[in-house]
Amino acid sequence: MTYAHDIFISYMHDPQMESWIHVHLLPFIRTFIGNALNRPATIFVDREGISSGVSWPLKLQEAIAKSRCLVPIWSPLYFHSEWCRRECASMLLREHQAGFRTPTNPQGLVVPINVFDGEFFPPKARDISWIDCQRFWLVGEGFSKTERYVEFQDILRSWACDVATVIHNAPEWQHTWLSDDWLRTDDQDLRPVPTRNFSFTGLE
């Protein structure tokens, strides 16, 4: 048994996020990362990869275990999702056990895309570098007709080379990643930070 996917896409499910990922993000990263790898890139996205009648948690666990890296789409609400935190925490644990994110090996296996202000991200997330796509988290046909859409492609094309390097440097696959312990990985460091208090002054 070995890897089945190059990338596991981890994201908070809501209509805007799903539309953006499937309409705008996935087509470009499939092409750009595939070219950077010099072969087709295999990408797991749960809406496409889980069939009707399949036990969702087990299928998800297997997909993460068999993915070389994880690309989380980070927004504040991502860290409010228990499943998103588990997905990310399990890959961070793999990094730690494989000797990644150290002074001699600073690269990791979690390669985030940020689509919102990182103010409410937990400290653990803020310590990980991300590609900033806040200006490009837009849905609808109008986005694809703007100059910003061209900039979006330029950024993803450059980023794809970094992701390809992460994929190439993934550690040798381990069957222990399929154990239940990995799905129950402690996600404490990824819990959302408390929301600051806002004060509003009423109109006179």
**Is this structure's pTM higher than 0.85?**
yes
Read off the pLDDT of each residue in 4-12 and give the average, rounded to a whole number: 96
CA angle centred on 90, ends 89 and 96, rounded to 5° = 85
pLDDT at 197: 55
Mean pLDDT of the chain: 89
pLDDT at 182: 67
Domains annotated for the chain, with CATH where assigned, are 5-187 (3.40.50.10140)
**pLDDT per residue as tens digits for the range 133-159:** 999 999 988 999 999 999 999 999 999
pLDDT at 15 > cutoff 70: yes
Read off the pLDDT of each residue in 3-30 and give the average, rounded to a whole number: 95
With cut-offs at 50, 70 and 90, classify the pLDDT of residue 204. very low
**pLDDT per residue as tens digits for the range 98-119:** 999 999 999 999 999 999 988 8
Read off the pLDDT of each residue in 62-84 and give the average, rounded to a whole number: 94
pLDDT at 49: 46
pLDDT at 201 > cutoff 80: no
Got the DSSP string for the chain?
A: ----EEEEEEE---HHHHHIIIIIIHHHHHHHHHHHHTSPPPEE-HHHH--TTS-HHHHHHHHHHTEEEEEEEE-GGGGG-HHHHHHHHHHHHHHHHHT-SSSS----SB--EE-S-GGGS-HHHHTS--EE-GGG---STTGGGSHHHHHHHHHHHHHHHHHHHHHHTPPPP-GGGGSHHHHT---GGGSPPPPPP---PPP-
Range with lowest mean pLDDT among 135-144, 168-177, 192-201: 192-201
Range with lowest mean pLDDT among 3-12, 89-98, 176-185: 176-185
With cut-offs at 50, 70 and 90, classify the pLDDT of residue 59. confident
% of the chain with per-residue pLDDT over 70 = 89
pLDDT at 129: 94
Cβ neighbours, 10 Å, residue 43: 19
